[in-house]
Amino acid sequence: MIRLLPLLLLAACAGDETISGYADPAARYRLLEMDGNPAGPAVTIAFPEEGKITGAGPCNSYGARQTVPYPWISVEDLFSTERACPDLAFEARYLDRLRGVSLAEASDNTLILSDEDGPVLVYQRLPE
């Protein structure tokens, strides 16, 4: 156990290694493209604190956990409210694509979430 103590202390000092440590926690991003096509209804995503994902689709708000180190991302325990609206099919497709992303790139005002085939979801930071 004594040999593990320095490693545990070092890990505790490392800070947030998830995407929320690299994207501004105050930033919200609006979906611009999904699977290479312009996004229709308004969808947002944010990373307000370590391991936390929040957002809103055209019908519902959603949230999830994210625990892997950046630049990887794993959307876990995704949940959403359950209101119906005309854009519910789009929202369901978006949440399905969000569950499947595995790589994140946060740069300036752009956020790109990708899977093994390339970019899936492209976002632009909203003005504050």
Tell me if the bond preceding 71 is cis, omega within 30° of 0: yes
Residues of the chain with pLDDT > 90, as a percent, come to: 76
Collapsed DSSP state (helix, strand, coil) of residue 21: helix
Tokens of 113: 């979430």
Helix residue ranges, H only, 1-128: 4-13, 88-99
How far apart, in whole angstroms, are the C-alpha atoms of residue 13 and residue 16? 9
pLDDT digits (tens, 9 = 90+) for 31-64: 999 999 999 899 999 999 999 999 999 999 999 9
Q: Nearest Cα to 32, choosing from 126, 106, 96?
A: 126
pLDDT digits (tens, 9 = 90+) for 84-112: 999 999 999 999 999 999 999 998 899 99
Least confident residue range of 14-18, 36-40, 74-78: 14-18
pLDDT (0 to 100) of residue 14? 56
Tokens of 97: 């694509």
Determine the average pLDDT of the residues in 61-70.
95
| DSSP secondary structure letter of residue 19 | G
Amino acid identity of residue 16, one-letter, is D
Alpha-carbon distances, residue 90 vs 60, 87, 125 (angstroms): 12, 5, 21
Tokens of 47: 């990373």
Whether 122 contacts 105, CB under 8 Å: no
Given a cut of 70, whether residue 74 has pLDDT beyond it is: yes
pLDDT (0 to 100) of residue 40? 86
Least confident residue range of 23-27, 35-39, 72-76, 101-105: 23-27
Given a cut of 50, whether residue 7 has pLDDT beyond it is: no
16-125: what fold?
Answer: Lipocalin (2.40.128)
